[in-house]
Amino acid sequence: VARLSNVYGPGVGENTVLGRLMGQAARQETLHVLDERPVRDFIHVDDAVEAMVRLADVETPESQVVNVSTARGVRIGDAVEMVAKISGIPIHISEPVTSEPSTQLILSNARLDRLTGWVPQIHLEDGLEFCLKGPGTLNPVIAQKL
């Protein structure tokens, strides 16, 4: 069983935080998030696909759950700043609507590494830059393999 962290990539819907940010940037709207504090583990779709292909080749005697993730947490506010830097769009961050502690959702990819010897290659800022360039551009990590 492959458990995916927060997958993003070209054409991602706006039902995710990165999807909303990329949609706002594409429409030249001010980048807006409600809370910059949460920490999430974002993985580019090309890395997620590569992990799934490698996992399909693994023979194990029993079922296992494998996290497909970068194992790196990124604060939402930092992701907003990356999109702003790449797109040149201004930022608006609302005050958190709650005083409760922020959440962190980071998945370990140690089992993925142990089973396949592979770890994700695309860092968030590079992946966002690729996504924001628009359709028809080739991801540099994929280009190296061709």
CB atoms within 10 A of CB 114: 10
Per-residue pLDDT of the chain (146 residues; tens, 9 = 90+): 899 999 999 888 899 999 999 999 999 999 988 888 999 999 999 999 999 999 999 887 788 899 999 999 999 999 999 999 999 988 887 766 666 777 889 999 999 999 999 999 999 999 999 998 865 554 455 445 43
Cβ atoms of residues 47 and 118 within 8 Å:
no
User: Tell me, what's the pLDDT at 46?
Assistant: 94
Token pair 């830097």 is at which residue? Answer: 85
Dist. CA 114–CA 71, nearest whole Å: 14
pTM over 0.75: yes
Question: What is the b/e burial string over 7-27, where b = at least 16 CB atoms within 10 angstroms of the residue's CB?
Answer: bbbbebeeeebbbbbbebbee
User: Tell me, what's the pLDDT at 144?
Assistant: 52
